[in-house]
Amino acid sequence: MQEPVRLSAELFQVRGRAQELLHQKASAATQASFGRKVFLRGVVEVSNYCRENCAYCGMRRANEGLHRFRAKVDQIADLILHHRPNSITDINIQTGEDPVAVREVVLPLIKILRRETNLGVSVCLGSLNPKLYQELQEAGATTYIIKFELADAPMYERMESPGTLKERIEHIRLLAQTGWNVSSGFIAGLPGQTIPMLAANLELARQLPLAGCSVSPFIPGEATPLSAEKTGDIDLTLNCMALLRLMRPDWVIPAVSALNLAEPAKGYRRGLRTGANLVTINMTPSEIRQDYVLYKRERFIMTEERILSAIAAEGLSPANQSLAAFYAERETRSNLGHAQPAEVTAV
């Protein structure tokens, strides 16, 4: 059993030298489990249709001013097969919550990738029905990214997050029970979010059967009810990342691109030195990428050049092994057991 991680208001809000020490401790925990290697994947965003109405997302169904698209399978397949960056080992296929795109675009695309490449395949498609989960798995995807967003049920409802928090958790557990590697995540710095709410996010993450988890700073999205709110505090976000890493040294924790929106030019690299060990290159074709509006049309696109430059600057290097192969290998090492989550207690 790892040493308990004791969450206090002070740890979430530390600055200066105390923050440096917290982040250094998180970085050391990452290196003890993963060395100085980071996983490098590509992402393609293939549909911005969404049946949900999340208050913090620019693709919410109430945004009638957004040009909606579903990418063509042939276009995306050609992009990945013949024009992908050499450094990536995995592909993440992402959409709004759009079951039509899952059937018409995502499923055939996964089958092509499985037939033509050895890339690991993850998907981020929202809450779907069990039959679609099974079809995606049978097609060849192995990791499902489904964020619980926030652990406070009343706030979850106010933010119009997908379904109910209880339902979202049930989907996460179902996915894990049926063999998926599940990665989740939450938002730090939402308007009205308190430190106890942030602590509850970490506690919920600890309880769930996850292989990884992200922390995203709140970014006020265009055409949303929260568009006039302040951007989430980058230091609060990074402290959450550090605490998440100390709680689970064995998890894969991504550096999300929104870190550079919360703190331009610095946020992403700070994430890499705060426990992150997964980076993502955006491969979405430029002609549709501007309409994939999680936050704003003015996005900070993480290209291969930017990614490789950032990880090199932090003394890191790309992993040769795919994330999918890593998960599979870890699963087969049953004789060694799995790392257990550290106890989280509030003080």
Closest among 327, 288, 318, 286 to 48, alpha carbons compared: 288
pLDDT in tens, 5-39: 677 889 999 999 999 999 999 999 999 999 999 99
Least confident of 45-49, 160-164, 328-332: 328-332
Chain segment 81-109, per-residue pLDDT in tens? 999 999 999 999 999 999 999 999 999 99
Tell me the CA distances in angstroms from 72 to 76, 105, 126, 219, 227, one per residue in order. 6, 7, 20, 29, 31
Q: Which of 106, 85, 43 is nearest to 299 (CA)?
A: 43
Q: What is the mean pLDDT of residues 124-153?
A: 98
| Structural domain spans, the chain | 5-333
Confidence check: pLDDT of 301 > 90: no
CATH number for the region 5-333 comes to: 3.20.20.70
Is residue 342 pLDDT above 90, yes or no? no
| pLDDT given at position 332 | 87
d(CA 90, CA 88): 6
pLDDT over threshold 70, residue 192: yes
Backbone angles phi, psi at 254, to 5 degrees: -80, 150
- Determine the pLDDT at residue 90: 98
